[in-house]
Amino acid sequence: MRKTIIVLIFELLTLIVFPENNDKNIDSLLNALQNKTKSENNSKIYNDLSEFYYNLFLSNESYYYAKKALSHAAKENNSSELARSYFNIGQSAYVLGSFNESLLSFKKAIIYYQSRKNNKKIFLCYKNIASVYKSTGRIDKVFDYYYRSLKLAEITNDYENIIGIYSVLISMYNELNDFDNMLKFIIKSKHFLKGKKIEERNYPNIRLYEGLYYNNCIHNEKKALLLIESSLNEYISKNDLAGIASTYSLLGDMFTNKNILDKAMSYYKRALNIRIQSDDKNSMSILWTNIAHVYMLKKDYNNALKCNFKSFKVRLRTGNKQLIASSYANIGSTYIKMRHYDRALIYLNKGLLLARELGVNLYIKNSYKKLFELFYEQKNYQKALEYHQLLSDIMLKIAKEENNRKIAEIQSKYENEKKQQQLKNLSKQNSIQKLILRKRQNLVYGLSFSFILIILLAILYSRHNKLKSAQKTLELEQKLLRSQMNPHFIFNSLSSIQSYILKNDLFEAGKYLSGFAKLIRLVLTNSREEFIPLENEIQTLKLYLLLQTLRFENKFDYSFEIDPAIDPEKKYIPPMLIQPLVENAIDHGILNKQDKGNIFIRIFMGNEIMQIEVEDNGIGRKKANLIQEQNKSLHKSLSTKITNERIQLLNKKYKLGIRLTIYDLHDKEGIASGTLVRIIIPSKRLKFIIKNRDFVLFSLLSKSYRSNKM
């Protein structure tokens, strides 16, 4: 509801027109009308009356006199008053909720203003049409007409209106939570205001919006309050009551959102006092609604109801159907909280009927939501379900409109920029045509030469990077291959086989030798490829762990946990990625442990990622490093370093985003109880790379290899 109220404030502000006869007294206008004869120009006085009543927020009277003015202007054949009549009908019809009539009237007014080349009024028509489209949810048209008005202001160097449109766009982007574009126009506004002799109130206005940006986007409340207070002080020094009231309202909104309700109430009441003094009925009604909202948050429903009714009475007098529909929903919602369900139903149904008449989806959605809450509270679940379905449908419609908003905005910008460029080209075409013809040939030669040079440099640079990358890859693969087939492992494995032979245990010797041969073949085969099926990596690990358990006489146990959602034959990973981590776990964690160790290898799928974990219950990294220093070991494990370098190279080459993290594990007493190494591989990106590479030969080799497995 609060967002809807902000929307209404914004729309009403964009429809304000500075009337030509504000200083006229209503009685003098009526007297002048009576003194006129039938043959005299009555249309001007009727338009004066229409504008007078419009600025008193009496839209029904404004509409009536605008219609009278139109009738007389047509009889008088007065194009100036015809344009003015259509404009006044457009304003009052909009407030009364007759959106189609409002649009049609503004567009007819534009035709007359164009014939008279009255750019100021055309500008106002564009702004008002944008506001009408905004009320009907046609965001695609909203930005189109705002950018039309901006273009017109730029053509005529109308600085006041340029900064005015910037302000409107900032407000719109803030409302739509499009903070990037909001900041863009804040910066443009600040840059535009430099050195321009524009009305001074624009400066605190932009600071006010900047404070809003810091509060809503950066969440820097301190900076936001400094900017807002700076604007407030400037408004106070100039006795700008409208600016002061707007700032108080903004502060009330900020403190309401932060649930600092007493401060919010204080600022809303200050703003209300100013609006009462200036008899700004629409702003008064909105502030009564905001105060009612604070009472609702305080659960003071009686006072909330009183304030909502005060707002409602003001809106009935002004005839603003949009605000009346909002009041129906607010009163109904308050009655729900007070458990006066029959009264709530009456007001909510009235609000829904008016919202449907206006065709405004936001009001319809709010009515459906409140009716759903009402019937749910009454345990009338059948009715609640009906309104829940209606609510879901309208929310989908609103979401679709929101998704189309940015596309519509971009299209609007593109069309306006395209038209502007065409106008510039047409104006300069005659004067620069000969120059273009003379320079075209030289330009083509120059561009061609530059293009060829850039391509050659790019090719050379690319080849250099590829060679450098290939060299780095080869070095890492050699290091990794040496780390997997390190002399210690090979020597100890052969020693173990020899021991079995000397013991005349030929079965164990043959088993060990067969496993060792398979492992060597797998390592050599896998090392030729950049990516292998997960199944191959798992098989290599199992053979390696089997040999290590035989070698160390069951010094440790190991287990694999594979996510059932993973098909190891279809999932690919870089080869030799896990084995160095397992080797580290054995050599530095398990072998220095007194009792039997455990190694756990887990592979499972997450949200578009593959997660690999190697966990051991060894002595931990800190103690392992200490033992290594005490023994003055010349052998330093490079497995982790090489693996990290390889991951960095893969990430750089394929933009994979692989991450390796090491965690030191501790028991409840804080004593080291092992190490956990976690590798995260974005499976979606890896799948894309695999799909777009030529893996035909690899697949054939892999298939042949699997068919020959022992």
Distance set, CA 229 to CA 203, 210, 214 (Å): 13, 12, 13
Q: Given a cut of 50, is residue 648 above it in pLDDT?
A: yes
Q: Given a cut of 70, is residue 410 above it in pLDDT?
A: no
Q: Would you put residue 674 in left (φ > 0), alpha (ψ -120 to 50) or beta?
A: left
Query: What pTM was estimated for this model as a whole?
Result: 0.47
Distance set, CA 489 to CA 256, 475, 493, 537, 698 (Å): 69, 21, 6, 19, 29
Going by pLDDT thresholds of 50, 70 and 90, the confidence category of residue 638 is low
Contact predicate 556/599, CB 8 Å: yes
What stretch of H or E contains 661? strand 659-666
Per residue in 557-595, pLDDT (tens digit) is: 999 999 998 888 888 888 888 888 888 888 888 988 888
- Which tokens is 94 given? 């909009």
| Greater model confidence, 540 or 512 | 540
State the pLDDT at residue 500. Answer: 64
State the pLDDT at residue 21. Answer: 40
Q: Given a cut of 50, is residue 634 above it in pLDDT?
A: no
| Greater model confidence, 545 or 501 | 545
Q: Given a cut of 70, is residue 214 above it in pLDDT?
A: yes
State the pLDDT at residue 704. Answer: 46
pLDDT mean over 106-135: 89
| Greater model confidence, 172 or 613 | 613
State the pLDDT at residue 18. Answer: 36
Q: Is 247 exposed, middle or buried (0-12, 13-18, 19+ CB in 10 A)?
A: buried
State the pLDDT at residue 293. Answer: 94
| Greater model confidence, 74 or 465 | 74
State the pLDDT at residue 82. Answer: 92
State the pLDDT at residue 8. Answer: 40
Per residue in 228-238, pLDDT (tens digit) is: 887 788 888 87
E-assigned strand segments in 496-651: 532-533, 556-562, 572-573, 597-605, 609-616
| Greater model confidence, 327 or 188 | 327
State the pLDDT at residue 656. Answer: 83
Going by pLDDT thresholds of 50, 70 and 90, the confidence category of residue 155 is confident
Q: Given a cut of 80, is residue 96 above it in pLDDT?
A: yes
State the pLDDT at residue 19. Answer: 38
Look up tokens 């004593």; give the residue: 671
Distance CA 581, CA 642 (A): 11
Per residue in 331-388, pLDDT (tens digit) is: 999 999 999 999 999 999 998 898 888 777 778 888 889 899 888 988 898 988 998 9
Per residue in 294-309, pLDDT (tens digit) is: 999 999 999 999 999 9
Distance CA 320, CA 306 (A): 20
State the chain's mean pLDDT as an integer.
79
State the pLDDT at residue 701. Answer: 44
Contact predicate 103/110, CB 8 Å: no
Question: Is residue 659 classed as helix, strand or coil in its secondary structure?
Answer: strand
pLDDT mean over 89-100: 87
